[in-house]
């Protein structure tokens, strides 16, 4: 079995070392004997709904976001159809912003979004930066924590009733006020946590792999455990740094 991945705009949205998320997913699939194929999808390339099992989009500066925003927005129907059909999505930072309805910069220029996540983002006056710790569930049957690094001036407001990725235990999150971080729609998750995210949170990598395999095979697999001692140690270090900032919510 092989997981098919579409990496959206890798030559534009590639800061913060978030390509490492693809490396983590690829390695954890390979260690379990699962194939993992990555296809770069850039401006003008075709994205056919359901052809891939996982869509990945990273972060970039405002200039790079402006370059790809119209093309990404034009793919909104295909992306929403893919997610409705069970395709998994991981969107990070700038990619997370542009999968909402729009991103409005400090200059007042509004970049169109793909409309997957029920949120809007505007550039704020302060930079929200530092280690961040979340509590989230994601159909795990128990609450788990996500630890990562946030660095954004964008203020993202979720619609009433929208599902966040998690609740902030320490850090700023989407807007520094609501106590929410990220967003979730089905098997699609978006977040401001990067640096990259998955090396410190292997359980989320496995959740995404399981969702991608469910799309490919029609049923959710039981992924066997891996020796994650180093990953868990990295999670603890990041979580403790976040806690040292003090809880905000």
Of the pLDDT bands very low, low, confident and very high (cuts 50, 70, 90), residue 140 is: confident
Report DSSP state, residue 118.
Answer: S
194 flagged as catalytic: yes
Tell me what pLDDT residue 247 has.
59
119 flagged as catalytic: no
pLDDT above 80 (res 52): yes
Q: How far apart are CA 156 and CA 141, in angstroms?
A: 28
Contact 91, 187 (CB under 8 A): no
- Two tokens at 234? 């990295």
Contact 168, 130 (CB under 8 A): no
Between 114-123, 133-142, 165-174, the lowest mean confidence (pLDDT) is in 133-142
| Candidates 7, 52, 194, 215; catalytic one | 194
Segment 103-115 mean pLDDT: 96
Q: How far apart are CA 150 and CA 119, in angstroms?
A: 18
Phi-psi sector, 246: left (phi>0), alpha (psi -120 to 50), beta: left
Of the options 1.10.260.40, 3.40.50.1820, 3.40.50.880, 3.40.1520.20, the CATH number for the domain spanning 2-244: 3.40.50.880
Q: How far apart are CA 221 and CA 203, in angstroms?
A: 14
CA 247 to chain centre: 23
- Two tokens at 216? 């490919």
pLDDT above 80 (res 142): no
pLDDT in tens, 16-48: 888 999 999 999 999 999 999 999 999 999 999
Calculate the average pLDDT of the chain.
Answer: 95
Q: How far apart are CA 100 and CA 125, in angstroms?
A: 20
Q: How far apart are CA 83 and CA 156, in angstroms?
A: 21
Of the pLDDT bands very low, low, confident and very high (cuts 50, 70, 90), residue 248 is: low
| Candidates 93, 136, 152, 215; catalytic one | 93
CB atoms under 10 Å from CB of 84, counted, come to 14
Segment 113-139 mean pLDDT: 95
Query: Tokens 């990619």 correspond to what residue?
Result: 95
Domain ranges of the chain: 2-244
Q: Are strands 183-185 and 180-181 parallel, antiparallel or unpaired?
A: unpaired
């Amino acid at each position: 079995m092989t997981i098919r991945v579409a990496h959206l705009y890798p030559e534009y949205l590639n800061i913060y070392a978030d390509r490492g998320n693809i490396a983590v997913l690829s390695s954890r699939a390979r260690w379990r004997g699962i194939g993992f194929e990555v296809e770069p999808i850039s401006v003008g390339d075709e994205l056919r709904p359901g052809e891939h099992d996982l869509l990945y989009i990273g972060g970039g500066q405002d200039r790079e976001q402006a370059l790809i925003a119209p093309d990404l927005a034009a793919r909104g129907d295909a992306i929403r159809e893919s997610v409705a059909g069970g395709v998994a999505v991981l969107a990070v930072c700038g990619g997370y912003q542009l999968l909402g309805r729009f991103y409005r910069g400090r200059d007042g220029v509004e970049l169109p979004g793909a409309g997957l996540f029920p949120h809007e983002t505007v550039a704020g006056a302060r930079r929200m930066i530092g280690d961040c710790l979340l509590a989230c569930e994601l159909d795990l049957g128990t609450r788990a924590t996500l630890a990562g690094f946030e660095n954004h001036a964008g203020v993202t407001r979720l619609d009433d009733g929208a599902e966040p990725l998690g609740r902030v235990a320490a850090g700023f999150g989407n807007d520094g006020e609501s106590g929410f971080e990220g967003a979730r729609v089905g098997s699609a998750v978006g977040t401001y946590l990067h640096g990259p995210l998955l090396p410190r949170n292997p359980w989320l990598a496995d959740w995404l792999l399981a969702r991608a395999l469910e799309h490919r095979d029609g049923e959710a697999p039981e992924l066997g455990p891996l020796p994650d001692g180093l990953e868990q140690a990295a999670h603890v270090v990041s979580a403790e740094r976040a806690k040292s900032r003090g809880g905000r919510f």
